[in-house]
Amino acid sequence: MIIAQEPFSASVAAEILPLAQKGWDESTLIKNATCAYFGERAFLIEPDVERYQALASQGLLLLMTLRENTTLKGYILGLTYRSLHHKHILCGIADAIYIDPEYRAYTMVVAEKFEEAMREREVQIIGWPTHIDGPLYEVLKARGYVGDDIVMEKRLCA
């Protein structure tokens, strides 16, 4: 297994897309009625690759991958930003994560490498949007993460 930080590109985005769709589909099952899109999540995702590339060109995007030989088996895609409440604090957020189920034994290691890369960027705090019933929740608790705020959703238009 190869766990590495990789530059974001259109070709890597194309590799990520099938895994991202699997992640969306899996989270749809996990979230079920707790999602504002309940009953309407069965659609194809459409990532804004150009925006991700713009963030990467600004040095704000971090991509950690898990590969078996050259085949992508998982990834974490994160962003860095200055806190709007405390401008001296550099924050990170895991925007998306997916590890193929047969490779989930590596999730803790991939998360650790992601944290190390964020630390190298001098990030002071990392946020991980996750569902309490999802597979990532227990991994994060084991790594010392705590639940802080909860994101409340309301769908305003159908």
Q: Which residues pair with 64 in a beta bridge?
A: 5, 76
Is the model's pTM score more than 0.85? yes
Dump pLDDT digits (tens) for 102-116.
999 999 999 999 999
Q: Which domains does the chain have, with CATH numbers?
A: 2-142 (3.40.630.30)
Q: Residue 141 contacts by C-beta under 8 Å, 6 or more apart in sequence? A: none
Dump pLDDT digits (tens) for 2-56.
999 999 999 999 999 999 999 988 887 777 777 666 667 677 889 999 999 999 9
Indicate the range of 12-26, 86-100, 137-151 predicted with least confidence: 137-151
Whether the predicted pLDDT of 99 surpasses 90:
yes
